[in-house]
Amino acid sequence: MKPSHLAATALLATSVLALTGCFNGQKATTTTQAAMNTGNGVQTQQGPLRIENATLVVSDDEAQSATLLVRLVNEGPTPDALVYATINGEQAEIITPESEGEAATTLQPGASVSYGWESDLRIDAGVLDAPLSSYVPVELGFAEAGLSKLSVLTVPQEGYYEDVTILP
C-alpha cells in the first residue's frame, strides 16, 4: 500500500472517531435538549396526569393580568382533581362555572380537560410581575398526583393569542 493511501486511511479512521464525539455521551447536547424549555407549550408528567401545552398569555394593559392555557389529561385508573395553583409565586385563581362548582376541576380516568382556551375553566393571575418572553414558575397541585412544578413562557395577547380572554 502506498504511503499516501496509508495516511488517508489513518486520517479517515481518526476523523470518524472525532466527528461522532458530538453525539456520544450522557452530557451531549443531543441528549439534554429534550429536557430543556423549548418555548410555549410546556409539557410534563405528574404521576398519571399529563400536563400539555402550558403557556401564560399576558394582557397588554398596565395591570398585566395573565391566564394559563393548559390541557390536563388523566391517564390513570382513578379520578384526580386540580386543587391548587400558583403563578410566579403568587396564588392563582382557579375559576369554574358556578353550575359545576368544584366538580369541574375533577379529572376522570381517560379524561382531557382544557383550561383557558375555548373553555369556561380558567387559571388566572390577577397581576403578573414578569417580562414578556420570560419563563415564570407555575405550580399545579393535584389531590392525588401531588405538586407539579413547571417553568412556563409568557406570551403577549396578540396574534395567535389575541382571542384569549384574560380577566382583570
Backbone φ and ψ of 76, nearest 5°? -90, 175
Q: Which CATH class is domain 38-161?
A: mainly beta
Q: 38 in the Ramachandran plot: left (φ > 0), alpha (ψ -120 to 50) or beta?
A: alpha
For residue 143, give the amino acid letter: A
Q: Which residues contact 147 (CB under 8 A, 6 or more apart)?
A: 46, 84, 139, 140, 141
Backbone φ and ψ of 166, nearest 5°? -120, 120
Task: List the beta strands (DSSP E) in the chain.
Answer: 42-46, 49-58, 66-74, 80-87, 90-91, 93-95, 106-107, 112-115, 122-125, 135-142, 146-156
Q: What are the boundaries of each domain within the chain?
A: 1-36, 38-161
Query: pTM of the entire structure?
Result: 0.75
Please report which helix (H) or strand (E) contains residue 16, including its range. Answer: helix 3-19
- What is the reported pLDDT for 26? 56
> Grid coordinates in use for 37?
424549555
Per-residue model confidence as pLDDT tens digits over 109-155 = 999 999 998 888 999 998 898 999 999 999 999 999 999 999 999 99
Q: What is the mean pLDDT of residues 11-27?
A: 60
Give Cα separations from 18 to 15, 29, 49, 156 (angstroms): 5, 16, 42, 44
Q: Residue 77, SS3? A: coil
